[in-house]
Amino acid sequence: MAIFPNYIGPAAFGVKMGVIVPGFDLISDVVERVNQCNQDGLLDDGDVLCITESVLARAQDNFVTLDEIAAELTEKLHLQPTSRVGVVFPILSRNRFAMTLEAIAKAVPEGEVILQLSWPADEVGNQIISDQLAEALCKEIYDVIYEEELNGHDLCHPITQVDYARLYKSIIQAQGAKATILLANNPKEIGKYNCDGIIVADIHTRHKTKSKVDTVCQNVITLADLCNDPKAKSWSEWGLLGSNMSAAGKLKLAPRNSQQFAEELQEKVIAQTGKYVEVIVYGDGAYKDPSTGIYELADPEPVLAATAGFSGKLREGIKYKYFADIGYSQGKSVDEIEAELKQIKESGCVPDSEQTEGTTPRRLQDVIASLADLVSGSADAGTPLIIVKGFLNK
């Protein structure tokens, strides 16, 4: 490394980029900025270029209108304006689901939306009711809580201070539809409402949820089944999963063809700089906030695309502290302990052996994506390109 001395371990830094708008040549701009990093001695073989999915989707102009979503929903579920549509286990989020719910209600302006929420929280830990309120209502986790039972109680989210039950109901009613809200953790509960069609809206458990809902209704889709047609102007392999609110009545989808983008960027950076780098397109980091209990991963995956160098790679290793303690207890010097650690590391070890006890193997690309997300920040630090060093070239 020209700039980073050999006593520096894994590191990550953000690269500032300007405003990125639809039609922006993202690959050319990233190559230019990475080449500048290379000229300044900041790039090495084995570095990882991390591009946030948000700027890729924006450059692709990957936006859909709520009217377009409503029309596709009407077609796929064979809805009428007076239909009754069920929505099961949506995430509690203004950014991630409020506009999607508005599009759903647009499809049945003279009908009804049955909204079934999991409780006490959604699948990523956003609270809908507190444990104290559930106890006051004498409810156990397998019970159903009806909307009228919640009247007069504070349902504000402890962090956002938003009452999501009230917010979601108002969104539905604003489109002219009737809103019915219930809290129930058994997805089959929606079957009691004789829905004309049902949308399974959870992210990570959608396949399991759909398999259960399929037993009570024959007309069921997931959010991944909407806006996923490659023949459309805007689409994503993830459908509406990973979408975000935007302006002018539009949703920003997750990017399309992310794998193709990652591979093309890798090829052009190698050609321009002579440095063999890997590339990932990342979304939310895969970590849980200890103070709120919220699992931050609202995207379907932390990594939407990764180049071949990550195939089968896990973040794992020996337990340095453990071997240092053993060596010290045996009377070995610091130099002897360090030499032994180096030998163990170079010779490799069996993943489930005593040498790795206390270390948890994780997909390396997920670890790096989570690091990149923390560096770039959900509030947007203006650094949608993160360069991560020291994981693949150590």
Which of 11-15, 202-206, 278-282, 317-321 shows the lowest mean pLDDT across its residues? 317-321
Q: If pLDDT is split at 50, 70 and 90, which confidence band does 340 have? A: confident
pLDDT at 349 over 70: no
- Cα torsion through 228, 230, 232, 233, rounded to 10: 110
- At residue 23, the pLDDT reads 93
- At residue 346, the pLDDT reads 61
Q: What is the pLDDT of residues 270-306, one digit of tens each?
A: 999 999 999 999 999 888 888 888 888 999 999 999 9
- At residue 290, the pLDDT reads 84
For range 317-344, the mean pLDDT: 67
How much of the chain exceeds pLDDT 70, in percent?
A: 88
pLDDT at 382 over 70: yes
Q: If pLDDT is split at 50, 70 and 90, which confidence band does 317 have? A: low
The helix (H) or strand (E) run that includes residue 1 is none
Give the up-direction half-sphere exposure of residue 281: CA atoms within 13 A in the CB hemisphere: 25
The more confident residue out of 200 and 160 is 200
Rounded Cα distance between 340 and 24, Å, is 52
DSSP state of 382: S
The more confident residue out of 83 and 358 is 83
- At residue 358, the pLDDT reads 46
The more confident residue out of 380 and 250 is 250
Return the closest-CA partner of residue 326 out of 341, 314, 315, 343: 341
- At residue 1, the pLDDT reads 46
pLDDT at 345 over 70: no
Q: What is the pLDDT of residues 204-251, one digit of tens each?
A: 999 999 999 999 999 999 999 999 999 999 999 999 999 999 988 899
Whole-number average pLDDT of the chain: 89
For range 40-57, the mean pLDDT: 95
- At residue 147, the pLDDT reads 93
Quick count: other Cβ atoms within 10 Å of Cβ 277? 24
Q: If pLDDT is split at 50, 70 and 90, which confidence band does 357 have? A: very low
Its pTM stands at 0.87
Q: If pLDDT is split at 50, 70 and 90, which confidence band does 379 have? A: very low
**Domains of the chain, CATH where assigned:** 27-60+255-315+362-389 (3.30.1330.100), 63-252 (3.40.50), 320-356 (no CATH)
- In the chain, alpha helices (H): 26-39, 53-59, 66-77, 99-107, 131-136, 164-174, 206-213, 258-273, 320-329, 334-347, 364-376
